[in-house]
Amino acid sequence: MPEDREVLPKAFKPTNYNLSLYRIDLEKKTYNGTVVIDYDVQEADNAIYLNYRGGVKVFGAELEGANVTNISYDEPTETVKLALDQSLTPGKAQVTVKFQANIETNMAGFYASRYGEGMEMYSTQFESTDARRAFPCADEPNQKASFEFQLEKPKEDFVVLSNMPVKEEKKGPNNKTVVVFEKSPVMSTYLYAWAMGDFEYIESETERSYNGKKLPVRVYTTKGLKEQGRLALESAVKIIDFYSKVFGIDYVLPKCDLIAVHEFTHGAMENWGLITYRTTAVLYDPETSDSAYKTRVVYVVAHELAHQWFGNLVTMDWWDELWLNEGFATWVGWFAVDHLYPEWDVFSRFVSESAQQALSLDSLRGSHPIEVAVKSGAEIDQIFDSISYLKGASSIRMLSSQLGEDVFLNGVSSYLKKHSFGNAKTTDLWNALAEASGKDVAQNMLNWTQKIGFPVLTVDESGDQITVRQDRFLSTGDVAAEENSTEWWVPLAVSTGLRTEPINDVLHARQGVLSNVSKDSFYKLNKDQIGLYRVNYPTDRLDKLSGQINELSNKDRVGLIADSASTASAGVGHTEGFLTLLKKFGESNETDYFVWSEMISRLGNLRYAYSEYPNEKVRCALDQVGMDLIKPQLEQMSWDTPSDADFLWVQLRKSIFFNGISLGNEDLIQEAHKRFKSYINGEASAVHPSLRSAVYLAVMKYSSGEDLETAYKYLINELTNSNAVDGRELAISSLGRATDQTIITKNLNMFLNGDIAVQDIHSLVSALSANKESRQQTWEFIKSNWEAIYSRYGSNMIIFERLMRLVLSNLTTEAAYNDINNFFKDKDLKGYDRAVAQALDVIKVRYQWVARDSDKVESWLKEKKYL
């Protein structure tokens, strides 16, 4: 164990917690508790150390064999020391600790969520280090122990839930009901959980039997919402059976509950047997929800259920290896969704969204390796990012493809069985996969998990052979020699046609030669984008590939566009070549949603970089490029939705319409205004749920006077009274797209006036900071109100870090880059330093791209008659 980690001394190893909570005061937001901790004393020591945070105060402690002589706190390390009058010798020990703590309101620890008219529910969020905020404990992932738990109901009509089933209810002091839960298996403290409130549920059971009976699965909600949990419930029972079969290990606990929480920092949390979700990640109404949320709900359910094995049954030894939890749960979550809904083509979504997000973040100097050294609790939350989740998942996908799916899953099963109810390290997974495959997995994967970044493969056809060279890819394009020392194991997977098997060459060194491939024939590296890297082709080869689209899968088409755009913005490739590629794709009768999503996104990035370019004619010309790109699709699409409309077609139409309105298509804007008026006057069929975002954009961006006031009032009302699960999130982001200065000012004031819940502030920030009319104002507002902003959001560093990332990374100019550096030079960046560093990298990419390539872009626009 690294000596510089802030961890508790290892003399006392907890084996069981018996936790009792009582005198829960919902008005004062306080409660009392007693925790009896059983220990294995592993070496003699005269002090017991526990973690605490925030309002936890220990007011008494007892144990047999010694007296507690002093209780002292060390706030920087979040430890409370129970000093003893004598050393305890190795063996068994039991300490009883009495404490008081707060019911929080910042979505951490044991906290209250507000909903409806003055209603509250209560639940926990302990990952990564907030169990200590609810009760004194050894709050580290490798300090596993079993739990016994009882809670005194503050209201008799409350439903109380925890990881395990209720054992009994009995009367306690003051004739209040005490709910006692069954003893749990050993688990990390961050996975224990409880919830209480005015809940109702729907229930189903698995097809498979577990310990001789079907497993009960429930979705809990506050009253009135339970039927919207039907999709999650139907998916959960199938996914639990699927994982039990795939992993070769049955689900362990006697029940599985999913609960919708009204205020939630994350999307969901995998507490063992009591999984908590943001409402929009578990509830879905087929009548009113955007169908995109259907994918979201099924995937998030699958992701959290994957953790019941990967993370809960087997837990990473320390936060350095968080990716063992999150990377695997991300990949296998999509694997399960693909099993349930093959028509959704979710691995094309993975290539277009997840893999590209991972590559984008990992191309920044401010990125970090998958396995990153974590010393203290303050550092942990920052690594719950696209590297741990999405680069981790992409690495798993790459490795699974190389080993073969069956071999890979056999290795995973062995890993889980060997380390069940324990902790593991990355090397343990590699060893299990090596044993299953007979390959040196650790040697191949070492640089992928322990080194920052990934390679760009430069293809050279100038000689007699086709050579490929790997170098680290930086989005700023300025890789120094000392940053370019890593040589990755790179599976090339050379495609020679849509209906042929790839040539599975591997690049082990800095440079290699493609075997069995001719320069005169079709070829493309990285078939189906299995590998985690970019490819930079010569201009002639890129031109050939753009004329051979029929030989490319949709994943390959996505990859070709993404690689061309990314290498162009870094100055490694050519922006004019990227624009030509896009134009050819737009003329090719492309119909795939994921390919269109990539085209629109990548051209949008270029337009965004030029959004403050001084030559307005260039900006307008780039907008026209975008309009021409989507024109063939627009001509084929209707506002009316057939009853048998394909799921992905609905998403494609949403993307095309939204983009068209953003670019100023008059026909779309006029129709959107017309339909909005019908919609708010009670004609629900006037606007399909998937088109609300496009319609709201039209009325907020292209309205004035009474029409704008009507739209604004409607969206404000949606914040609290929407009848759609996703209505509040959509209303917030739509408000942020306003171009009217009065509304922008009102939007900015919502940062501080409490009109928007803390959990939803990212939806407003994301829209405001991406909106050209409010981008700089948002940053100026943050600076001017820094103390108040930090006071409101800084108590939850996950929220604050996300807020900073969104505000800063949407700026575009060198002046903004310098302003950010100047503003933060005397600030304590603890907990969000990575966000600032990464945002600066993103801004730098934009202004350098414009400065470097503006002449070439103008030349291309003139050549194509846009200027």
484-532 pLDDT, tens digit per residue, is 999 999 999 999 987 788 988 999 999 999 988 999 899 999 999 999 9
Q: Which residues of 848-864 are buried (b: 16+ CB within 10 A; e: fewer)?
A: bbbeebbeebbebbeeb
Question: Across 452-604, where does the E strand assignment appear?
Answer: 455-460, 467-472, 490-491, 506-507, 511-513, 534-536
- Round to whole Å and give the CA distance between 331 and 181: 33
127-159 pLDDT, tens digit per residue, is 999 999 999 999 999 999 999 999 999 999 999
Residues of CATH 2.60.40.1910 domain(s) within the chain?
Answer: 454-586
The CA–CA distances, whole Å, from 74 to 5, 196, 507, 674 equal 16, 32, 51, 63
Closest CA to 852 of 499, 526, 590, 478: 478
Residues of CATH 2.60.40.1730 domain(s) within the chain?
Answer: 1-195
Tokens 């741990």 sit on residue: 388
Average pLDDT over residues 748-768: 95
Tokens standing for 172?
């306690």
Q: Does the model's pTM come out above 0.95? A: yes
Under the banding of pLDDT at 50, 70 and 90, the label for residue 382 is confident
- Round to whole Å and give the CA distance between 468 and 456: 10
pLDDT at 1 over 70: no
Under the banding of pLDDT at 50, 70 and 90, the label for residue 378 is confident
303 in a known ligand binding site:
yes
3-state secondary structure 709-760: HHHHHHHHHHHHHCCCCCHHHHHHHHHCCCCCHHHHHHHHHCCCCCCCCHHH
Confirm if 88 and 45 have CB atoms less than 8 A apart. yes
Give the β-pairing of 490-491 and 506-507. Answer: antiparallel
**Which of these is catalytic: 127, 152, 270, 304?**
304
DSSP string, 308-333: TTBTTTEEESSGGGTHHHHHHHHHHH
Residues of CATH 1.25.50.20 domain(s) within the chain?
Answer: 628-864
The rounded percent of the chain whose pLDDT value lies above 70 is 100
The region of weakest confidence among 206-210, 379-383, 639-643 is: 379-383
For residue 125, the SS3 value is strand
DSSP label of 137: B
pLDDT at 226 over 60: yes
Q: Where are the alpha helices (DSSP H) in 610-724?
A: 616-636, 647-663, 666-680, 692-701, 705-721
**φ, ψ for residue 283, nearest 5 deg:** -105, 140
H or E, element range at 336: helix 323-340
Closest CA to 188 of 248, 137, 120: 137
H or E, element range at 845: helix 833-863
Please tell me the class of the 628-864 domain: mainly alpha
- Round to whole Å and give the CA distance between 160 and 150: 10
Under the banding of pLDDT at 50, 70 and 90, the label for residue 800 is very high
Average pLDDT over residues 90-99: 97
List of long-range contacts for 507-511, beta carbons under 8 Å, 24+ apart? 507/457, 507/468, 507/470, 510/469, 510/470, 511/467, 511/468, 511/469, 511/470
Closest CA to 180 of 153, 157, 156, 199: 153
pLDDT at 45 over 90: yes
Mean pLDDT of the residues in the chain? 96
Tokens standing for 443?
């040697």
- Round to whole Å and give the CA distance between 816 and 772: 14
The CA–CA distances, whole Å, from 338 to 302, 334, 421, 707 equal 10, 6, 29, 44
Average pLDDT over residues 225-244: 99
Under the banding of pLDDT at 50, 70 and 90, the label for residue 2 is low
pLDDT at 664 over 80: yes
Catalytic: 304? yes
The CATH number of domain 454-586, selected from 1.10.3720.10, 2.60.40.1910, 3.40.50.920, 3.30.70.2740 = 2.60.40.1910
- Round to whole Å and give the CA distance between 524 and 513: 14
162-181 pLDDT, tens digit per residue, is 999 999 999 998 899 999 99
Tokens 């943001």 sit on residue: 278
Average pLDDT over residues 685-709: 98
What letter represents residue 296's amino acid? R
Residues of CATH 1.10.390.10 domain(s) within the chain?
Answer: 315-450
Whole-number pLDDT of residue 54: 87
Can the peptide bond before residue 662 be classed as cis, meaning omega within 30 degrees of 0? Answer: no
End-to-end CA distance of the chain: 62
pLDDT at 223 over 60: yes
For residue 597, the SS3 value is helix
Closest CA to 703 of 667, 670, 732, 729: 670
CATH topology of domain 315-450: Neutral Protease; domain 2 (1.10.390)
117 in a known ligand binding site:
no
How many residues comprise the chain?
A: 867
The region of weakest confidence among 120-124, 461-465, 594-598, 728-732 is: 461-465
Confirm if 737 and 707 have CB atoms less than 8 A apart. no
Closest CA to 51 of 145, 139, 126, 125: 139
H or E, element range at 74: strand 68-74
Tokens standing for 813?
């100019």
Average pLDDT over residues 663-688: 98
Under the banding of pLDDT at 50, 70 and 90, the label for residue 3 is low
702-732 pLDDT, tens digit per residue, is 999 999 999 999 999 999 899 899 999 999 9
Nearest-10 crossing angle of helices 775-784, 761-770: 130
Q: Looking at domain 1-195, which CATH architecture does it have?
A: Sandwich (2.60)
307 in a known ligand binding site:
yes
